[in-house]
Structure formats: structure tokens, C-alpha cells
Amino acid sequence: MNAKMKKRMIAVSGVIIIVLILVLAFVGGNTAAQTLSVAEAAENPQAGQKVQVSGNVVQDSFSTAGDTLTFKIYDPEGDPATQLEVVYDGAASSTFGNDVTAICTGKIDDAGVLQCSELVTKCPSKYENADSALTVEQLLGYGADVYGKMVKVAGTVKDGTLKPAGEGDRFVIVDESGAGEIPVAFDGALSDEVTDGATVVLTGSLNDDGSFAATDVALEG
């Protein structure tokens, strides 16, 4: 191969490398999500662009129709009145609930709604001492005497019962004796450490239908 041919091949190779770099930069720039606050997303929706917005789920703003979850988020460090509506076509995790931190990635449509393609939820773990808590067996033993009264109960999350908020009973607790079980109603945020077999300490009241209306859920610690 003569020197002229070598120079030509080097030049062609250089052009190819430059083109590849430009293509990769273009693709990367179009697939990376721009991070926005709730206020920025609400005021400057960036319609059609891929964005990532983090916020806390507005109390009781969520609803499920088929496989579509709709909810609103707000910035806990900003104006709570500034909210962004989110539509997510996918199953919500068991940690989803009121005031959980939701990291939403997708595109904002012309109506200002974030059409979410990726949803991650986060909630810090809370721990509670179970020494003063009743067992499931003890609580059920009191029967009508404790209906509607604020109590604390500890139990283990029954395998396969965890659900996202808004889908009926959130989970069921049992204790080691195996003497009964209690379905738990709770629409708040759950730590991802609340899993099958986890020991939890609940604060709330027993209803006359045998379910427990929890106001707080913590891990035993």
C-alpha cells in the first residue's frame, strides 16, 4: 500500500470516527432525561421532551383504572399548592402510597400531564419498639372492647398479601402463635423494607369488621 493510499484510509477512518461520536452524542442527548423540579415541570412543561421529576404523592390523589395509575406530586420543600399530575401505565409497587417520594420519568403532554414510563418510589425506614405492643392474638382476644380505640399491635407481614395503596387491604399481619390474622388498611407510604415476613409495629384501631385501620406502620427495631 503506497503512502497516498494510507493517508486516504486514515482520513476516511477519521471521518467515520467523528460521525460515530456525533451520532452517539445525538442519541445520548435525546434519551437522557432532563431533571426538573415539580414547579419547573408545572410552569415550563417541556412538552415532548424526556424529563425526570421527583415529588411526594399528594394525599388521596391517586386512582387506578385497569393498569393505569393516576396521581399528583408536590415538592415537600416548596409550595404544596404547586402540583403535577402523573399518569403511569404500569403496576405500582407495594411501597406506593400517600406522601411517598415518587421519582417519575417520562414526557409531559400538551395538557401538562407527565406521561410516566418509569416510576420509582422511596420511603425512609421507620423503626418502633414492640415492647408495649399487643400481639395479634391479644388484640383479637379483646374483641369489641377495643373497637375504635387507639392501640399498638405487632405482627409479621403474611406472605403474598402486600399491595399498593388504593387496592383494598394493604397487607395482613399474623403472629408466631398462628392464632388468627388481621387485615390492615393503610394508604400511607411504606418502606421497601416492609416485605413478606417482616415484623411491623402498627398504630391505629381495630374496626368491628376485624380489620385494622393503621395510622402508622414501622419496622420493629
Does residue 9 lie within any of the structural domains?
Answer: no
pLDDT at 45 over 90: no
- Give Dmax over CA atoms of the chain in angstroms: 100
Q: Scanning the structure block, which residue is given the C-alpha cell 403472629?
A: 175
Number of structural domains the chain divides into: 2
Same domain, 40 and 55: yes
Does residue 131 lie within any of the structural domains?
Answer: yes
Ordered alpha helix ranges (H), 116-176: 136-142
Same domain, 153 and 78: no
pLDDT tens-digit readout, 125-164 = 999 999 999 999 999 999 999 999 999 999 999 999 999 9
Does residue 17 lie within any of the structural domains?
Answer: no
Say what the pLDDT of residue 82 is: 96
Q: pTM above the 0.95 mark?
A: no
> What range defines the domain where residue 138 resides?
127-220
Say what the pLDDT of residue 2 is: 53
Which grid cell sits at 60?
388521596
The band of 8, judged by pLDDT with boundaries at 50, 70 and 90, is low
Average pLDDT over residues 48-77: 94
Say what the pLDDT of residue 167 is: 87
pLDDT at 96 over 60: yes
Rounded to whole angstroms, how far apart are CA atoms 91 and 3?
Answer: 63
Same domain, 139 and 209: yes
Does residue 140 lie within any of the structural domains?
Answer: yes
Least confident window among 30-39, 80-89, 107-116, 132-141:
30-39
Same domain, 80 and 116: yes
pLDDT at 15 over 70: no
92's CB contacts (< 8 A; 6+ apart) are: 64, 69, 119, 121, 164, 165
End-of-domain residue from the set 66, 97, 122: 122
The better pLDDT of the pair 173, 2 is held by 173
CATH of the domain at 133: 2.40.50.140
